[in-house]
Structure 1
Amino acid sequence: MSTRRATIADVARTAGVSPSTASVVFSGKTPVSDATRERVLQAASELGYTGPDPRAASLRRGRSGIVGVLFQGHLGAAFVDPVVRAMMDGLADAVAPMDAGLLLLRHDADGTTGGASLTNAPIDAAVLVGWTSVIAESLQTLRARGIPVVVVEGDAGPDVPRVILDNREAQRALASHVRSLGHTDVALLTLPTDIRRRPGWLHADDDIGVDVTRHRLEGAREVYPDAPAYAAAGSSIDEGVAAGRAILADPQRRPTAVLAQSDLLAAGVLRAAEELGLRVPEDLSVTGFDGIDVDGLAPFELTTMVQPAVEKGRAAGEAIVAMLEGHQAPSVCFSSVYHEGNTTAPIARL
Structure 2
Amino acid sequence: MNDSSTASAGARPTLAAVAKLAGVSNSTASLAFSGTGPVSDATRERVLAAAKQLGYAGPDPRARSLRRGRSGIVGVVMEERVRDAFRDPIKIALLDGITEEIAAVDAGLLILTDAGEAAQRIEDAPMDAVVLIGCSPRLDESVAALRQRGIPLVAIEGDPADDVLTIGQDNREASRIAAQHLRDLGHRDVAVVTLSLTRDRARGPLTPDAIASASSTTALDRLAGAHDVFPGAGGWVTRGSFVEEGRIAGTALLSDPARRPTAIIAQSDLLAAGVIRAAEELGLEVPADLSVVGFDGVRVDGLWPYDLTTLVQPAVDKGRAAGRAVVDMLEGAAAQPSSFTSVFHQGNTTAAPATPPKGA
TM-score range, shorter chain: 0.7 to 0.9
Q: Secondary structure at the match of 1:93?
A: helix
- Which amino acid counterpart does residue 183 of structure 2 have in structure 1? R
* Counterpart position of 1:326: 332
Q: Which of residues 104, 110, 113 is equivalent to 2:118?
A: 113
User: Is 1:178 aligned to 2:185, yes or no?
Assistant: no
1:211-226 equivalent positions in 2, closer than 5 A: 211-226=217-232
Q: For the Cα contact (< 8 Å) 1:26–1:51, is it kept in 2?
A: no
Q: Which of residues 269, 272, 277 is equivalent to 2:275?
A: 269
Q: Distance in 2 between matches of 1:159 and 1:198?
A: 31
* Counterpart position of 2:319: 313
Q: For the Cα contact (< 8 Å) 1:186–1:255, is it kept in 2?
A: yes
| Cα deviation 1:176-226 (Å, max 9, x = unaligned) | 000001010111100000121411112213322001000000000000012
Q: What stretches of structure 1 of length at least 5 have no aligned partner? A: 1-23, 30-48
User: Is 1:143 aligned to 2:147, yes or no?
Assistant: yes
Q: Distance in 2 between matches of 1:197 and 1:337?
A: 29
Q: Distance in 2 between matches of 1:50 and 1:324?
A: 23
State the 1:27 CA deviation.
Answer: 4.2
- Greater Cα radius of gyration, structure 1 or 2: 1
| Cα deviation 1:52-99 (Å, max 9, x = unaligned) | 995465234211111000111210100101111111111100111111
| Cα deviation 1:266-306 (Å, max 9, x = unaligned) | 00000000000000000000000000000110110100000
User: Is 1:208 aligned to 2:214, yes or no?
Assistant: yes
Q: For the Cα contact (< 8 Å) 1:263–1:289, is it kept in 2?
A: yes
Q: Secondary structure at the match of 1:122?
A: coil
Normalised to the residue count of structure 2, the TM-score between the two structures is: 0.80
State the 1:164 CA deviation.
Answer: 1.2
* Counterpart position of 1:77: 84
* Counterpart position of 1:343: 349
State the 1:251 CA deviation.
Answer: 1.1
- Which amino acid counterpart does residue 294 of structure 1 have in structure 2? V
| Cα deviation 1:223-253 (Å, max 9, x = unaligned) | 0012112110110001101111111121110
* Counterpart position of 1:159: 163
RMSD over aligned CA atoms reads 2.1
Q: Which of residues 133, 139, 153 is equivalent to 2:137?
A: 133
* Counterpart position of 2:260: 254
* Counterpart position of 2:191: 187
Q: For the Cα contact (< 8 Å) 1:174–1:305, is it kept in 2?
A: yes
Q: Distance in 2 between matches of 1:323 and 1:50?
A: 26
User: Is 1:168 aligned to 2:172, yes or no?
Assistant: yes
Q: Distance in 2 between matches of 1:301 and 1:89?
A: 25
Identity %: 50
- Cα distance change on mapping 1:254 and 1:144 into 2, 3 Å: same
Q: Distance in 1 between matches of 2:56 and 2:299?
A: 41
Q: Secondary structure at the match of 1:243?
A: helix
Q: Which of residues 309, 321, 324 is equivalent to 1:303?
A: 309
Q: Distance in 2 between matches of 1:187 and 1:283?
A: 14
